[in-house]
């Protein structure tokens, strides 16, 4: 069984099978674990941590038309953000930025929104922006929300330090158009940079889709985020991403093991659980740090071997793995210990063979 968990927000998903397809993940830190059982009932498990980097909003050379169709060529290079529905489908959101002599604007196209059936205002959709990336557990004064319902009625929200409330005096410049279809609706928004705290800076983002299919169930991107808690929103960049600093790789020498062995057995060290968050190639260095000395074959490989010593058993042998991504002062180490117990082979008694030789004599 596979299990994917977010380390930043309340999100978890599980799946059975030999392979696991990653869903459309929002930026943040995650852990993916696998538990497997063989035909004899023995269990094994492994896990890996990884990070999805903050997304950026591309600049477009053509101004999108605010018509609700959301099919302008300007959105072609924009990443698609998935706002999940309870039935496994999703609405799709795309963001681009356009600048001209009148200043810059953020354009947002959301398609495939569901209708509500429990009365006014029906289904709603919107984007909440943490303009100064302040995070926190409650909505701050810099947090603004831009919303529209399925009937095309817009409104704004703003944080007051404790919660987010509908703005009594919404800021000017926010423009939105909706397009209704037979089974879904679209929303296209335009937000001037002045309402976003300018451009080329970090922020936090949350897409909301409420009252889906007649309930008050809450659809959000990122999944598991809380509209009242900016600390669970996804980090992003209003503009190009800054150059990310190098991240130190993570060494994983495997789990400690207790083995029954015979002299001359070969044991494999395994550093395949090591990883680099920047996706760079790693170098591996294995060293023995404890126990009777053995020779490590190909100690600079990810899976070197050593031979069980002929003497000094039982024994505990400890090995250290150091991985590096090639950058200065960018390496980490991990240890693994093998507790070896000598298994004495039981002698096999072979009964003498008995037969009748020539002339009737017994032969054995």
Topology match between the domains 55-238 and 245-348: yes
Six-digit token pair at 24?
């459309």
| pLDDT tens digits, one per residue of 66-93 | 999 888 999 998 989 988 887 778 899 9
What is residue 213's predicted lDDT score, i.e. its pLDDT? Answer: 56
What is residue 346's predicted lDDT score, i.e. its pLDDT? Answer: 60
CATH annotation of 55-238: 2.60.40.1190
What is residue 2's predicted lDDT score, i.e. its pLDDT? Answer: 94
Delimit the domains of the chain by residue range. Answer: 1-51, 55-238, 245-348
What is residue 40's predicted lDDT score, i.e. its pLDDT? Answer: 86
Q: CA–CA separation, 156 vs 158, rounded Å?
A: 7
| pLDDT tens digits, one per residue of 111-122 | 999 988 765 668
Taking 50 as the pLDDT cut, the residues of the chain under it are 353-358, 360-364
Q: Would you say domain 245-348 falls under CATH 3.10.180.10?
A: no
Whether this model's pTM surpasses 0.85: no
Q: Secondary structure of the chain in the HEC alphabet? A: CEEEEECCCCCEEEECCCCCCCCCCCCEEEEEEEEEECCCCCEEEEEEEEEECCEECCECCCCCCCCCCCCCHHHCCCCCEEEECCCCCEEEEEEEEEEECCEEEEEEEEEEECCCCCCCCCCEEEEEEECCCCCCCCCCCCEEEEEEECCCCEEEEEECCCCEEECCCCCCCCEEEEEECCCCEEEEEEEEHHHCCCCCEEEEEEEEEECHHHCCCCEEECCCCCCCCHHHCEEEEECCCCCCCCCCCECCCCCCEEEEECCCCEEECCCCCCECCCCCCCEEEEEEEECCCCCEECCCCCCCEEECCCCCCCEEEEEEEEEECCCCCCEEEEEEEEEEEECCCCCCCCCCCCEECHHHCEEC
Strands 55-56 and 234-238, by their bridges, are: parallel
What is residue 155's predicted lDDT score, i.e. its pLDDT? Answer: 93
């Amino acid at each position: 069984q596979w299990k994917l968990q977010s380390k930043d927000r309340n999100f978890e998903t599980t799946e059975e099978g030999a392979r696991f397809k990653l869903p459309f993940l929002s930026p943040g830190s995650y852990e993916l674990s696998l538990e497997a059982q063989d035909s004899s009932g023995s269990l094994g498990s492994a896990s890996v941590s990884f990070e999805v980097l903050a997304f950026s909003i591309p600049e477009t050379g053509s101004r999108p038309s605010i018509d609700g169709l959301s099919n302008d060529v300007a959105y072609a290079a924009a990443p698609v953000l998935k706002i999940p529905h309870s039935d496994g489908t999703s609405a799709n959101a795309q963001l681009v930025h356009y600048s001209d002599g009148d200043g810059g604007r953020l354009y947002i196209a959301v398609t495939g929104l569901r209708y509500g059936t429990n009365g006014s205002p029906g289904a709603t959709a919107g984007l909440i922006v943490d303009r100064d990336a302040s995070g926190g557990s409650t909505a701050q004064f810099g947090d603004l929300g831009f919303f529209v319902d399925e009937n095309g009625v817009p409104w704004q929200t703003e944080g007051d330090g404790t919660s987010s409330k509908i703005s009594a005096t919404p800021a000017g410049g926010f423009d939105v158009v909706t397009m209704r279809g037979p089974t879904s609706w679209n929303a296209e928004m335009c937000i001037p940079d002045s309402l976003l705290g300018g451009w080329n800076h970090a922020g936090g983002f949350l897409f909301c889709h409420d009252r889906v299919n007649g309930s008050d169930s809450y659809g959000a991107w990122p999944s598991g985020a809380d509209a009242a808690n900016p600390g669970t929103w996804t980090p992003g960049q209003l503009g190009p991403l800054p150059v990310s600093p190098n991240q130190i790789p993570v060494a994983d020498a495997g789990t400690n093991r207790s083995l029954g062995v015979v002299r001359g057995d070969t044991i494999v060290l395994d550093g395949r659980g090591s990883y680099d968050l920047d996706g760079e190639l790693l170098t591996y260095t294995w060293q023995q740090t404890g126990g009777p000395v053995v020779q490590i074959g190909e100690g600079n490989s990810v899976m070197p071997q050593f031979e069980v010593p002929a003497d000094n058993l039982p024994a505990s042998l400890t090995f250290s793995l150091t991985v590096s991504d090639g950058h200065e002062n960018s390496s980490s180490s991990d240890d693994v210990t093998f507790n070896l117990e000598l298994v004495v082979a039981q002698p096999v008694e072979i009964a003498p063979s008995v037969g009748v030789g020539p002339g009737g004599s017994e032969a054995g």
